[in-house]
């Protein structure tokens, strides 16, 4: 039957998957498809993780993939689960934008570093969303952004998979769209207005 996943340890829910705390390894999570129809999303994502593994990228700001396991809910994909310096599971950027609990200057610094990382490593994504990114607190005042979901290329012609120039162009477009989504999704939020000016 494989791993038994504790329903009370659901970390997050997306439109196609549920994310559970790994029952034996605190630093990892298990993503399980809600329906077999969506299995292609995980398969597509894994293809890119293997490509990046072959390329020898830095995993500093991307949750590493650790393989497929059988669970009592079907096949699950195992990934790193970022934790803060105090042992708590890192929260999403969405959480911090809502809470407005981190200064715009610090979030701006972390997001600019993340953008540089994506450009350097050519990390192609289907889309950038605040709930696909976590802010991993490395101390009480500093942290970094880590991508935990959304990996892949949904362009009709996936030139960005093979060309650094096309990857950079695609990432610039995704970044502009991401900035627009922050303004749209958090209207009237003083933090986001200051943050956008720093990006």
- Residue 39 pLDDT grade (very low, low, confident, very high; cuts 50, 70, 90): low
Q: Is the dihedral of CA 20, 23, 28, 30 positive or negative?
A: negative
Instruction: Kindly state the average pLDDT of the residues 55-73.
Output: 92
Helices (H), 73-163: 93-99, 104-121
Whole-structure pTM value:
0.90
Residue 119: per-residue pLDDT = 93
Helices (H), 6-147: 39-55, 93-99, 104-121
Spell out the domain ranges in the chain: 7-80, 91-198
CA 59: distance to chain centroid?
Answer: 12
Residue 45 token pair: 């994502």
**Angle at the Cα of 43 from the Cα atoms of 40 and 46, rounded to 5 degrees:** 150
Q: Tell whether the model's pLDDT for residue 130 goes beyond 90.
A: yes
- Cβ atoms of 20 and 6 within 8 Å: the answer is yes
Class of the CATH domain delimited by 7-80:
alpha beta
Alpha-carbon span 107 to 109, nearest angstrom:
5
């Amino acid at each position: 039957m494989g791993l038994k996943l504790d329903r009370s340890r659901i970390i997050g829910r997306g439109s196609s998957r549920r994310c559970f705390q790994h029952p034996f390894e605190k630093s990892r999570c298990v993503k399980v498809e809600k329906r077999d129809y969506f299995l292609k999303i995980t398969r597509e994502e894994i293809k890119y993780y293997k490509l990046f593994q072959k390329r020898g990228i830095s995993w500093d700001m991307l949750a590493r993939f650790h393989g497929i396991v059988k669970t009592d809910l079907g096949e699950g994909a195992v990934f790193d689960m970022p934790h803060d310096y105090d042992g708590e599971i890192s929260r999403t950027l969405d959480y911090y934008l809502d809470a407005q609990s981190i200064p715009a200057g610090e979030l701006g610094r972390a997001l600019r570093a993340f953008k540089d990382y994506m450009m350097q490593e050519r990390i192609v994504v289907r889309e950038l969303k605040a709930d696909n990114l976590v802010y991993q607190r490395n101390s009480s005042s500093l942290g970094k952004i880590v991508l935990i979901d959304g990996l892949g290329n949904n362009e009709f012609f996936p030139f960005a998979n093979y060309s650094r120039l096309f990857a950079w162009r695609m990432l610039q477009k995704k970044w502009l769209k991401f900035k627009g989504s922050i303004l749209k999704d958090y209207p009237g939020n003083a933090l986001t207005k200051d943050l956008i000016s720093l990006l």
